[in-house]
Amino acid sequence: MFFSNMHLFFFFFSFSLLSSGHPSLQLNSTAFSLSFPLTTLPLSTNTTSKMLHDSLIANSNRNRNNTRVTRPSSPYNYKLAIKYSLGLVVNLPIGTPPQVQPMLLDTGSQLSWIQCHKKAPKRPPPTVSFDPSLSSTFSILPCTHPLCKPRIPDFTLPTSCDQNRLCHYSYFYADGTYAEGNLVREKFTFSRSLFTPPLILGCATESTDPRGILGMNRGRLSFASQSKITKFSYCVPTRDTRPGFTPTGSFYLGENPNSLRFRFIEMLTFSPSQRMPNLDPLAYTVALQGIRIGGRKLNISPAVFRADAGGSGQTMVDSGTDFTYLVNEAYNKVRAEIVRAVGPRMKKDYVYDGSADMCFDGNAVEIERLIGGMVFEFEKGVEIVIPKERVLAGVGGGVHCIGIGNSDKLGAASNIIGNFHQQNLWVEFDLANRRVGFGAADCSKVAQ
């Protein structure tokens, strides 16, 4: 299942998993910093042992954050490298002994799941699947487990008992993709001395995408929550469409030595009791305040970027959504400015992915020059700056589109800052202090 630009919304309105358990990582007395490659398909066929040998690097644990914030110790520090096309995929060692699995890094969803097959699928595309029979720490949740009982509060993922009285889940997405299998417990095994306890995961036996999901939102069943990570960050490299090449960036679990130069904004949080129909209380919500295009400040009220009484207008930072999405009022103001700058060059009667109609044929460099750069404005003068060279996204057939879609056209009145507008940017999620940090970087060089 390849997630389209809108896969985040499918997660938002499909489930909200909550669990009382917060398993902690089991470590020896030494603190570690680890490094792994994060890749997009096609994936290397390197063996598990070689990948671990190449990527596990132990360093001293350091705290370089001199800001006045609480500093609860993270169970571990862990660095991954990242390759990027439309999504961010990390290869993680799972099970005992570990089997390396490709997982999409997704801050917009909670439940992590992996591909589970005893035999590799015979049909292309090739994939890397987890074989439960080879792991001594694998177990399946029985139907009697609380998470498998239907209609419990905050658990709307469809579950049922299979013929073996095991907990089965079926997860269908609005774009026709799906994943289903069993809810299980399994370890992430980074080394002999560094591993998680068994975490609750989905073990997909049927799906339409060869990769799994690493759920990293604020929910109790996300990987971040179950492993008690207090912060994580990533640096998305710029896209490169050359055949056979995928650019490389970085992903940190725990402390990031670059964070001294990040600028932070407060995260907006919501109580689980705030059951507004259009609100995701587990998302990384921020207060976007304005947008500039080509140096011109658009006349958009900051209220458009905040959740109203029904939850509409919430603004989220998501690594798992490709384009940025804006509610109708904000999108129309952006479109009006694009029309003013390059209206005659727009591709008529063309809508990409059902929501993006600011698209062009012809010379993309000339169009970018006429539009200029773009800036997302936040509190305290914090900004996400998109240079003119990254305003347009190639969508195939020689067509380029502004990397922004209208979320109302897809039935979800939310604002989302997708990974397209996170290129060459550190993004840090400081869970302990409820804040999000940004820092400009050459992400490909950072990963070297």
Give the residue numbers annotated as catalytic, written as ranges.
106, 318
- Tell me, rounded to whole angstroms, the distance of Cα 108 from its chain centroid: 6
**Dihedral sign of CA atoms 254, 260, 262, 268 in order:** positive
| Closest of 418, 424, 429 to residue 439, by C-alpha | 424
DSSP secondary-structure letter at 36? E
Q: How many residues does the chain have?
A: 448
| Closest of 4, 2, 1 to residue 322, by C-alpha | 4
Look up residue 282 and give its two tokens: 């587990």
E strands present in 95-196: 99-106, 113-115, 139-140, 159-161, 167-172, 178-186, 189-191, 194-195
> What torsion, rounded to 10 degrees, do the Cα atoms 364, 370, 373, 378 define?
-120
CB burial string 71-84: b at 16+ within 10 A, e below: eeebbbbbbbbbbb
| Closest of 8, 25, 183, 191 to residue 92, by C-alpha | 191
